[in-house]
Amino acid sequence: MTDSLFTTLNVAGVGLEVPTGLLLGGQWKPGSAGETFNVLDAATGSPIAEVHSATQRDAEEAMDIAAATQAEWGASAPRERAEILRKLYELVMEHEDELAVLQSYELGRALPDSYGEVAYGGEYFRWFSERAAAIAGEYRVAQGGSGRIVTTKNPVGPALAITPWNFPLAMVTRKLAPALAAGCVMIAKPAQLTPLTMLYLAQLTKDAGLPDGVFQVLPTKSAKNVSVLLEDDRLRKFTFTGSTEVGQMLAAKAAEKTIRTSLELGGNAPFVVLEDADVDQAVEAAITSKMRGAGQVCIASNRFIVHDKVAEQFERGVIEKMKEFVLGPGTDKKTTMGPMVSEEQRDKVAELVKKAVDEGATVALGGPEGHEKLFETHPELDPNGFWYPATVLTGVKPEFEIANEEIFGPVAAIQRVSSNEEALRLANDTKFGLAGYVCGGDLKNALRFAEQLEVGMVGVNRGAISDATAPFGGVKQSGMGREGGFEGIEEYQETKYIALDL
């Protein structure tokens, strides 16, 4: 138990004062039951901070505050909201070192990837600051001629956001920025594994002048203590990023109260290499799409589906690129690939790879033996950290478990196909549809292939697709709704129609 509501950290030469309490009504507070939980350094398995844990009572208090704050915030001037969002963008960029180091410390991710997330996550504040000041309705003549049709865009109301551990900054900014722009107050629950980044961001929202009670943060060791708010009639919006199973369960709960819901759920992204692809370009795109955050990314390539004519060259290229990754603590500036976020995640990846080998896949790099001998080849690593080596599997078949489960680790599982038609069939043969990738030399054919992929987002001859100015989301069991782009603010707005007779 700790009575402190802040912790002081010094990581990679960067000094940090990080909140560890609950943000309720603009004040940092302990949880009402006095309970805490530890945040671990993924590179050592050791505790780095003790965070206060919210209870159901705390969630109810947050909802009381949100309900009381919504009307005033919803009626605030669009320019006021825009200027606060712009200030938030500036503060995020001003504190990019602190935010990047903090993410790498609690998540284990390499610093280059964390700096990339700061730029990406901060951009949502800038983008939606511009959308806040451009909210528009409509005025038109009814078909009969005498009437008028007027529409306005109103804030949905209090929102609850539940975010995952793998993007502790961008997953909240992608939800918070459009909510604030639309005039919605928000209660957010960060992931138990990585709450510190959101808590640090919450302090920045106070520094930016966001009114008390508009944004509240509830870290907790029991997610049910916060998801109980789905039973509250005052909650009008629910946004979730995480596993399909949990998302569907919570969405069903939200449906009982007809709560507006948006979900970004699991993926099984295909990365297709057509027979006419520029293989060197495809290899670069493959590494980009697979290895950001050591593969712990929802839109990471999960199934590499490669035409026979270029498969051998592609496999050689991927193996050589994977060998170049420097494994180490995320906060070490030499590191380009950090550990898994937790022991559970590391073990899941190891089990998927082992099962694939048992089913007949060939280990071209890493794998079970590489994992077993990791501390022989890397004696500098702390054996209590959650390490797994960069791995390449060839000879993978569509029926293997690894081709049907989200890997969420640094593992490239490569399948070969004999035609582009077979590639498309395999790519779409999944219940998921978040992201996909296709590489081809003939842009017309590649674009046609992209249009036939059953996913919400496609990268053509590129491995990076995330963009705050573009709509992010999936189809099938990968979710519903869109975040970012012009569409993102609509998730937090209701259209009101007013009929006039003249």
Residues noted as catalytic = 264
Region of 209 (left: φ > 0; alpha: ψ -120 to 50; beta: rest) is left
Cα 312 to Cα 279, 315, 317, 415: the distances in Å are 10, 5, 9, 11
The C-alpha atoms of residue 244 and residue 14 are separated, in whole angstroms, by: 37
Q: What are phi and psi of 228, to 5 degrees?
A: -60, -20
Q: What are phi and psi of 161, to 5 degrees?
A: -120, 130
| ∠ CA 428-430-433, rounded to 5° | 75
**Helix or strand run (H / E) with residue 10:** strand 6-11
Please name every residue paired with 480 in a beta bridge, in sequence order, or none if there are none.
263
Q: What are phi and psi of 237, to 5 degrees?
A: -145, 135
134 C-beta neighbours (distance < 10 Å), count: 11
- Of 18, 21, 15, which is closest to residue 36 (Cα–Cα)? 21
Tokens, residue 324:
């170049």
- Of 183, 186, 167, 191, which is closest to residue 175 (Cα–Cα)? 186
The C-alpha atoms of residue 6 and residue 49 are separated, in whole angstroms, by: 9
Rounded to 10 degrees, the C-alpha dihedral 275/276/282/286 comes to -30
Cα 322 to Cα 21, 214, 287: the distances in Å are 40, 45, 8
Cα 451 to Cα 398, 428, 458, 459, 470: the distances in Å are 22, 12, 8, 11, 17
Region of 451 (left: φ > 0; alpha: ψ -120 to 50; beta: rest) is alpha
Using DSSP bridges, classify how beta strands 159-162 and 22-24 pair: parallel, antiparallel or unpaired.
Answer: unpaired
